[in-house]
Chain A
Amino acid sequence: MSDYFKNINEINYEGPDSENPLSFKYYDENKQVLGKTMKEHLRFATCYWHTFTWPGLDPFGGATFERPWMSDSDPLKMAEMKLDEAFDFFNKIKTPFFCFHDRDIAPEGSNYKETQKNFLHIVDLMESKMSSSKVKLLWGTANAFSHKRYMSGASTNPDP
């Protein structure tokens, strides 16, 4: 169930004179510009890492966002909740695409095999979410920098 954004409706174009802060003033996705629609030209993507995974920490302080999917309970359940909320966000903001790192969408396990299992579990759910949503994947990527095994690099690590 996704209810974190329950008080926010789908964002629509209302034009530059609108006083509604939750509306588009210039982005009119079907408007023709230079031979294509704005949506086709701009191909916007929401990123998973800053928008749903980063908890607001900086080098001087910890999490400030305290989203419901950032609690200390079962990390895989939290990843499932995050996925639900992310798709609710995509459907409301109407960026036609999203992007993610593998570690944004699913938690590390106690070993690499378990990490991979967690990842594939969320990919299964994501595939099903995408089949009932208009949002598409602009790009995927691997986080090969956060885990301590990448402390000295991934492909340029002194230790293979």
Chain B
Amino acid sequence: MDATKRLGGSNYVLWGGREGYETILNTNMGLEIDNLKRFLELVVDYKHKIGFDGQILLEPKPHEPTKHQYDFDSASCLAFLRKAGLENEIKLNIEANHATLSGHSFEHEIAYAIANNALGSLDINRGDTLLGWDTDQFPNSVSELILPFYHLFSNGGIGKGGLNFDAKIRRQSIDPEDLFYAHIGGMDVCAKTLLAVEKMINDKKLSDYVSKRYEDWQKDLGNFIHTKGTSLDSIHQKVLNENIEPEPRSGNQEYLENILNKYL
């Protein structure tokens, strides 16, 4: 962290590749998690001691190398950070291929972090759906990036973080030019996706749809449920008194998927 501060770094990342365990037979999980908490407290204390003004970021990954990793996904990390009282000190560095290994999409992990004010930075890469490990390939598909970028840029962008190519060329790509082709491809596909997302955001078709879908939360029953002092039994009584029976409404997923395809 001293070196990162000295070189003017914007963030300091903690990825706990071996912060987990292989078998419960030899593991005291409670002590390990307490020690992880102690470690993060020491890191945050040191950040303040040396006056490093960057963000401290945890990087979720479900497994590999260890079988059970304590930083499994965004939700696990946030639960842990809240228990440790560090949710205002540490944010998340979310990697696309780690998201997919945890059984989530990249856009889910990003949207979850945004909803919890915990998005710090992104490792931009891709996995291979036919392989079960972290292949760390360069991104090359607008259709894979469009929803992650839509959520990112609809919510103010990446801030002090960035898009880090935690990505490697294949081991048969041995020419010096291959390193350039990989980065050019990754930068171009991100730029192309950003242009598509600009249209999506400006058209407001998706955001208007979602706003309308939830608009009743601004009306009578929604406000009543949100009001402090409202209880389960008072909601029950209101339902009985007013004979409330919501009419099912379509989620229109296929209609929305067709709209999304127009931007690809």
Contacts and interface: CB of A to CB of B under 8 A. Distances in A.
B190 A44 contact: yes
Interface stretch (B153-161, B217-225, B226-234, B255-263): B153-161
Nearest to A152: B18
A153 B18 contact: yes
Given A26-B192, A141-B15, A136 B165 contact: no
Contact of B28 (A7, A144, A158): A158
Given A23-B184, A42-B194, A95-B187, A139 B9 contact: yes
Query: Main secondary structure on chain B at its contact with chain A?
Result: mixed
Contacts of B177: 8, 21-22
Interface string A5-44: 1011001000000000111111110000110101001111
Contacts of A46: 165, 183
Given A139-B121, A155-B36, A43 B161 contact: yes
A138 B188 contact: no
B12 A136 contact: no
B190 A154 contact: no
Contacts of A58: 171
Contacts of B103: none
Interface stretch (A48-56, A74-82, A107-115): A48-56
A33 B194 contact: yes
B84 interface: no
Contact of B9 (A93, A140, A155, A158): A140
B179 interface: yes
Contact of A153 (B8, B20, B40, B201): B20
A123 to B, nearest CB: 5
Interface residues of B, number: 71
A43 B167 contact: no
Interface in A103-160: 119-120, 123, 126-127, 130, 136-142, 144-145, 150-156, 158
Among B16, B40, B57, B179, the most chain A Cβ lie within 10 Å of the Cβ of B179
B194 A136 contact: no
A145 to B, nearest CB: 4
Contacts of B163: 42-45
Interface string B189-224: 111101101100100000000000000000000000
Contacts of A36: 157
B162 A45 contact: yes
Given A127-B7, A139-B57, A22 B162 contact: no
Interface in B1-23: 1, 3-4, 6-21
Given A41-B153, A140-B3, 11 more contacts: A21-B181, A26-B189, A42-B190, A43-B158, A51-B165, A138-B9, A138-B10, A139-B57, A139-B121, A156-B16, A158-B26
Interface of B: 1, 3-4, 6-21, 26-28, 32-33, 35-36, 38-40, 54, 57, 65-66, 70, 93, 121, 136, 153, 157-158, 161-169, 171-172, 174, 176-177, 179-181, 183-184, 186-192, 194-195, 197-198, 201
